Amino acid sequence: MAEDTSAWDLKYTNLDRIRQHRYEVAVIPVGAVEAHNHHLPEGMDVIHTEYVARESCRRAWEQSQSIICLPAIPFGVDCNLLAFPLTIHVSQKTLDAYLTEIIQSLRKHGLRKIVILNGHGGNDFKPLARQIQYELDVHVFVCDWWKVGKEIYDTLFGKGDDHGGAMETSAAMVLCPECVELDKAGPGTTPPFRFEALRQGWIYTSRDFSKLNDHCSASSNVAPDADKGRQYLELVCGRISRFLAELAASPIDTAFPLQTDSNTP
Ligand SMILES: [Zn+2]
């Protein structure tokens, strides 16, 4: 292992290594523990989000030795999935308070560029980013990682593919093939909304997943495929790692994060 390989990973690095670097960017992965159809692990959102965070930080570190990846926060907002046994719910309010104190700690250590890497659709960190930038001298960037390659998502995994569906199964076949029990998978078929506005997506409501089907999934009918999972994860990690490296290299001047004549390369 090269000398500084693990210096980007807060879970595995140590004080001696930390003191040799000046960290500019912190990445906080956030997942969830919830039912994922019958065939995927409950911790799926932790598994894929931690992977995307670690792989993106590992690659970005090659460009800039100033990025630190925090351990993943395992629990998320899951009140609408609680009908499924051992799904764990933490309110957005609690999650925001928890993240606020983590970000306050990072700020105390001089870190002002914070990336929240979210892997669960029930979590929403945009209001937190707005609020905490007003209260603390930090810049918070929020990424829902599964949306990063949205222009190819439908082509690879089918329109309407969602929780516990083709994308997540394909990713799981790459990241933890031993914990995918495909023969147990339910179809993920869901009844449509009765209102056109909700079907078109310009009105939002929270879905109680126990009304969708008995296996807690909303999937397309596209078959999962490890190659597609690999392709999507590669695209996502490539894009996020490039962003992290750019973010690390960019000074926090008065216009940050906007582009102006004075900071255009
Ligand atoms: Zn998931």
Mean pLDDT, contiguous 10-residue spans, the chain (265 residues): 72 95 97 98 98 98 97 98 98 98 98 98 98 96 98 96 97 98 96 97 96 96 96 98 98 95 70
- On whether residue 7 sits in a domain, the answer given is no
Task: Give the model's pLDDT for residue 1.
Answer: 44
CATH assignment at residue 204:
3.40.50.10310
User: How far is the C-alpha of 8 from the C-alpha of 33, rounded, in Å?
Assistant: 25
Range of the domain at 50: 15-252
- Tell how far the Cα of 113 is from the centroid of ligand 1, in angstroms: 26
User: How far is the C-alpha of 227 from the C-alpha of 112, rounded, in Å?
Assistant: 37
- On whether residue 51 sits in a domain, the answer given is yes
Number of neighbours of residue 67 by Cβ within 10 angstroms: 28
Nearest to 56 by CA among 36, 76, 28: 28
User: How far is the C-alpha of 35 from the C-alpha of 78, rounded, in Å?
Assistant: 10
- On whether residue 4 sits in a domain, the answer given is no
- On whether residue 23 sits in a domain, the answer given is yes
Task: Give the model's pLDDT for residue 5.
Answer: 58
Task: Give the model's pLDDT for residue 4.
Answer: 53
- On whether residue 163 sits in a domain, the answer given is yes
- Tell how far the Cα of 119 is from the centroid of ligand 1, in angstroms: 7
Task: Give the model's pLDDT for residue 6.
Answer: 82
- Tell how far the Cα of 122 is from the centroid of ligand 1, in angstroms: 10
User: How far is the C-alpha of 129 from the C-alpha of 134, rounded, in Å?
Assistant: 9
Determine contact, residues 214/263, Cβ cutoff 8 Å: no
The reported pTM is 0.96
- On whether residue 1 sits in a domain, the answer given is no
| DSSP type of residue 177 | G
User: How far is the C-alpha of 97 from the C-alpha of 91, rounded, in Å?
Assistant: 10
- Tell how far the Cα of 203 is from the centroid of ligand 1, in angstroms: 23
User: How far is the C-alpha of 44 from the C-alpha of 120, rounded, in Å?
Assistant: 10
- Tell how far the Cα of 245 is from the centroid of ligand 1, in angstroms: 27
Determine contact, residues 73/31, Cβ cutoff 8 Å: yes
Residues 47, 52, 54, 55, CA torsion sign: positive
- Tell how far the Cα of 132 is from the centroid of ligand 1, in angstroms: 27
Exposure class string for 115-141: b at 16+ Cβ within 10 A, else e: bbbbbbbbbbbeebbeebeeebebbbb
Q: Tokens 């007003």, residue?
A: 134
- On whether residue 261 sits in a domain, the answer given is no
Task: Give the model's pLDDT for residue 58.
Answer: 97
Entry field: residues in the chain: 265
- The distance of Cα 241 from the centroid of its chain, to the nearest Å, equals 13
Total count of domains within the chain: 1
User: How far is the C-alpha of 1 from the C-alpha of 4, rounded, in Å?
Assistant: 8
- Tell how far the Cα of 181 is from the centroid of ligand 1, in angstroms: 16
- Tell how far the Cα of 168 is from the centroid of ligand 1, in angstroms: 7
Task: Give the model's pLDDT for residue 32.
Answer: 98
- Tell how far the Cα of 174 is from the centroid of ligand 1, in angstroms: 15
User: How far is the C-alpha of 93 from the C-alpha of 203, rounded, in Å?
Assistant: 23
- On whether residue 82 sits in a domain, the answer given is yes
